[in-house]
Amino acid sequence: MSVDRFPDWHGTTVVGVKKGGEVVICGDGQVSLGPTVIKSSARKVRRINPGGFDVVCGFAGSTADAFTLLERLEAKLEAMPGQLQRASVELAKDWRTDKYLQKLEAMLIVTDGDALYIVTGAGDVLEPEHGTAAIGSGGNYALAAARALMDSDKSAEEIARRALEVAAGICVYTNGNFTTERITK
């Protein structure tokens, strides 16, 4: 069966916020298949610890594809401890050039508490402006909300959670069941 014959999987909004010495990545829990919610409590934000180096990752897209990418990122970080940017660039290069990896449909937001990056299959490693990043079906809504709240007295976690609440109120593929991970420097 051709992959083109499978219906579209939707669901996920992940937002990253860097503010006040803290970086938070927060993701919703909904996975949808067409118009049907398949799962409402998926965990799309994970902490990895290659070689004692703390990294938080959030993913949008195919779960199996995202886990493949997380494993590859973890291997890159084990080979390059403490070098998230370099490991992310190497992952993006592999993702863009490897025939197997090119077929993966996912995006990542990653942080080590210092930097915040979006990693894509197009070979991008983006360090977003304004300390905010968002991916997934409700990503644009969450990004707009997070950016609007950055000048407030809210913490990084409060901004991330509120941004996801806004996205969940607009995007039918985003729910209010959040997973949050933070790194404080």
| Catalytic residue annotation | 12
Measure the CA angle with vertex 68, ends 66 and 70; round to 5°.
Answer: 70
Strand partners of residue 33: 9, 36
Q: How far apart are CA 25 and CA 113, in angstroms?
A: 10
How many residues can be counted in the chain?
Answer: 185
Please report, as a single letter, which amino acid is at residue 146: A
Q: How far apart are CA 5 and CA 20, in angstroms?
A: 47
Q: How far apart are CA 109 and CA 120, in angstroms?
A: 9
